[in-house]
Amino acid sequence: MNAPAQFLSPSEAAARLGVSAKALRLYEQRGLVRPLRSVAGWRAYGPNEMARMGEIVALRSLGLTVTQVKGLLTGDGAGLEDALGAHQLRLQDQLGKLAVAVDRVRTIRNENAQGRTITVDDLVPLARSTAEAATAFVLPWPWNGERFELFDIRPVNYIIGSLGSGKTVLAKRLAEIVPNALFLGLDRLEHGQAAALSLLAGDQALKKNVDQALQWLVDDGAETSDALVALLVGIIGTNAEMVVVDMVEEGLDQATQEALAAYFRLASIGKTLFLLTRSSSILDLQSVGLNEAIILCPPNHSVPKRVLPHSGASGYETVQNCLAPPDVRARVAGVIFFKPALINAASN
């Protein structure tokens, strides 16, 4: 009988830890963990390496940057106060939502005890996540008036679709329908930087918040740029509770996109985000967590739908095919694929 394997490959280690293999490479590059090497030179993670990785993943879940995690592992707790304060706010927000849910259950139990007939409509909302919100509206072109219902809005929501799928139309409609929402378009790349600098110059509180976000991102490997500053000011500088961002990766290099994805996932933004993207560095399907959701706009213009981040789930392969690394996205930007036969047929 063979002894159980003590060493895991990167993919096995990532799956066990609930992170992506890309995250393991980042932690290795930043000196947080040093995997073992097989005789053939392949990376391997033994019990000690997995224990250290477990600590890293736990610390990252508190909203700490890679630099802060590295400092803590070597006895330096600089910057810990801000991260703990943000984590406390998240927990307090969750407590508030749980209190509302408990009151809802208590009310229905009291009504049931008093003899009122409890219906399915009373009970179904109790089974939904306390973090959920709901919205429903009639879809514009290209869906021809079909009804769209979204019952599960997470802190971070990705809108995915191929060229011509209508994802931008859906995003703009969401920003119009949902109260206190803002659509942050690509014009931020043209004149948004000047507006961003003007806001930062006149609002010290905003400048402090943007500087903190930039520091978090730079610690995680991002490059400061006009596009990044304009994006952060657009998100942080608005009073809107929900921000819908058109093609969030525009103007950002791969390292910055990866850091930004981690920031949205781990840091306390204080806003609900809907992110249009076709970058696998923004939406890493292996890293999608409980606070994230994927909305697919199918290429055949059927009603947009939620897609679970698991191979084999309905729509998963379509989402996967819509995503590409930043270098590939840059090469095909603006390219529209067509079938010559269709063009010839149309001209006859």
DSSP string over 102-133: HHHHHHHHHHHHTTPPPPHHHHHHHHS-TT--
pLDDT at 333: 58
pLDDT at 336: 44
DSSP 212: H
pLDDT at 208: 86
Exposed/middle/buried for 46, CB within 10 Å: 0-12, 13-18, 19+?
A: middle
pLDDT at 20: 85
pLDDT at 245: 98
- pLDDT per residue, tens digit, the chain (348 aa), is 343 458 899 999 998 998 888 889 999 999 999 999 988 889 999 999 999 999 999 999 888 999 999 999 988 877 788 778 878 887 887 788 788 889 889 999 999 999 999 988 888 777 765 445 568 889 988 898 899 988 778 999 999 999 899 999 999 999 999 999 999 999 988 866 666 777 677 778 888 888 889 999 999 999 999 899 999 999 998 999 999 999 999 999 999 999 999 999 988 788 999 999 999 999 999 889 888 999 999 998 999 999 999 999 999 999 999 999 988 766 655 544 444 444 444 443
Pick from 270, 262, 281, 279: which is nearest to 220 by CA? 262
Contacts of 213 (CB under 8 A, 6+ apart): 232, 236, 263, 267
pLDDT at 86: 78
Q: End-to-end CA distance of the chain, in Å? A: 72
| Residue positions counted in the chain | 348
Cα 133 off chain centre by: 17
